[in-house]
Amino acid sequence: MLKVNTPFRVLFNLDSSKIAAQPGAFTEFLKKVRAALDDPHSSLAKKIHPALDIEVNLPKTKSTDSSSARDHGRFFLSPHVMILRWRGSYRDELQKLYDRAASEADSAIEKYSTMVRPDLESLFVKLNDNTIAVLSLDMQLDRADSVRGKEGWNRLNEWVSAVIKTMLADLYPQMIFPLLKGLNDFANETKDYFVYDVSEYKIFFVLVGDPKNPYPDLHKRFIPMKTNLTLCVEEGSYEETRWITNITRQSAAVRLKEAEIHISDENNLVVMSKNMDMKCLDILWELVASASYYYIAMNVININLIRYIGITSDKHTTKGLRAISRDMENIINSVTIMKLRYNDLAAELNGVSRKIFNTLQKEWDFKNITDNMQSKLELCRTNIQTLSVEMQRRNQGRIETVLTGVAGMTIVSVFIDLAAYATQLPNDKRNMVGDIPGFMDLGFIMSGNSLSWIGIFLAASVLAFTIKHRSG
């Protein structure tokens, strides 16, 4: 059996900060979604393709003992929110879609359709947060020994990826995207606002472009990631299984009951005994899917962090800097929550399961990615502080400029009053009092126009000096 796991990016993102702060409210929202999907007359159910069978995954809680306190703020032990399956009534259409995709892959890559048979009943999609979904499909691989060498397995991987991409190009706009859009509309209707609208996609901008003017073909926009294959074979003689050394070389081996699992950063292999119960491998599929999710989520956010590290205050308005700082804070919050969820899942594993997860961490370079992301987080935090200081400096400068302007207007007002005083006095009264003129005596010796222009000149000089001082 060939187990196929293909992560792909979709337009579905949750407000992780709000969920972490209100886990109970989010659980209630998911219950509302489940009830709406079960009611054929609801606005959400009417938007869903009838071929889809949707399972809503509620967060796991432990309310029966004192350990429930540690679950407060937890998102999921498993990161997926929903599981999408296809009903049996759609099986013929699904088979036609697969046949067309396989035919196109045969023409473009190599003719593998004669040795690969899909189990379409096993097809499902796990919908995760952070715009990531994972498609899973079981395939029967006949004459697997004919796929020899690293190049042969790379070609098979390329062929499977092409098939999945062609199928998603049909399934996504017709079935998956209407569900995602419906979830966003439903969250707005219930005023829960856990699902982000595309206008708020400031972190995962690759999918929408400019959030204010998103791509016109959003219903078609999904991004397939690297397909991961796991081949399950029965133990046999050396002559029968020596070809599998092509994919076990340089891989880590872990025992799981009656199976020996070889994990690598390319394709995985399970060597099992005859008539082994395949259900014991369910934890492996769950771990591979979870690892795929976290690997891609960290990688995606890592790329987004780079976007903001080099930003300086030059050529940005204070309003723009404030928006940039908010975006960076959103990324930092999302990364922090995601890392906590990742560590939470790892902590829940034990025994052999945890050993498999640790092997995945090692082979898939999780540590390098997290370390690299952590350094970028620190750079972003430093950048936010720098931009904050710049905004404070600019705001202080504006305040000083406004106060100086008020003082200048006061000066102008005083001299205009003097001018009015000088203009209104009769000629026989315009004499100085004493040898040293007082301030009000200016109204005797100078004309009204002169006094007004002197006031305006002094006010403009003070204002110009303040602006020049702040800009320097």
pLDDT at 354: 82
Question: What pLDDT, in 10s, does the model give residues 335-351?
Answer: 787 777 777 777 777 77
- Region of poorest pLDDT, from 220-234, 278-292, 308-322: 308-322
> Which of 284, 220, 304, 230 is CA-nearest to residue 8?
220
Band (472; pLDDT cuts 50, 70, 90): very low
- Please say if the pLDDT value at position 470 is more than 80: no
Please give the Cα distance from 16 to 333 (Å, whole number): 8
Tell me the three-class secondary structure of the chain, residue by residue. Answer: CEEEEEEEECCCCECHHHHHHCHHHHHHHHHHHHHHHHCCCCHHHHHCCCCEEEEECCCCCCCCCHHHHHHCCCCCCCCEEEEEEECHHHHHHHHHHHHHHHHHHHHHCCCCCCCEEEEEEEEEEEEECCCEEEEEEEEEECCHHHCCHHHHHHHHHHHHHHHHHHHHHHHHHHHHHHHHHHHHHHHHHCCCCCECCHHHCCCCHHHCEECCEECCCHHHCCEECCCEEEEEEECCCHHHHHHHHHHHCCCEEEEECCEEEEECCCCEEEEECCCCCHHHHHHHHHHHHHHHHHHHHHHHHHHHHHHHHCCCCCCCCHHHHHHHHHHHHHHHHHHHHHHHHHHHHHHHCCHHHHHHHHHHHHHCCHHHHHHHHHHHHHHHHHHHHHHHHHHHHHHHHHHHHHHHHHHHHHHHHHHHHHHHHHHHCCHHHCCCCCCCCCCCCHHHHCCHHHHHHHHHHHHHHHHHHHHHHHHC
Based on the number of CB atoms within 10 Å of its own CB, is 17 exposed (0-12), middle (13-18) or buried (19 or more)? middle
Backbone dihedral angles phi then psi of residue 263, each to the nearest 5 degrees:
-110, 135
Question: What pLDDT, in 10s, does the model give residues 177-217?
Answer: 999 999 999 999 999 989 988 888 877 778 888 888 889 88
Question: What pLDDT, in 10s, does the model give residues 357-402?
Answer: 888 888 888 888 788 878 887 887 788 778 777 777 766 666 666 6
- Please say if the pLDDT value at position 81 is more than 80: yes
Question: What pLDDT, in 10s, does the model give residues 14-40?
Answer: 887 788 788 888 889 999 999 999 999
User: Stretch 227-235: mean pLDDT, rounded?
Assistant: 83
pTM: 0.75
Band (147; pLDDT cuts 50, 70, 90): low
Question: What pLDDT, in 10s, does the model give residues 249-297?
Answer: 667 788 888 888 888 877 788 888 888 888 888 888 888 888 888 888 8
- Region of poorest pLDDT, from 98-102, 414-418, 419-423, 437-441: 437-441
Question: What pLDDT, in 10s, does the model give residues 86-142?
Answer: 999 999 999 999 999 999 999 998 888 888 899 999 999 999 888 889 999 999 887
Averaged pLDDT of the chain: 78
Please give the Cα distance from 54 to 82 (Å, whole number): 7
Domain boundaries, the chain: 2-289, 394-471
> Which of 193, 213, 196, 216 is CA-nearest to residue 204?
196
Band (144; pLDDT cuts 50, 70, 90): low
Query: Is the backbone of residue 257 left (phi > 0), alpha (psi -120 to 50) or beta?
Result: left
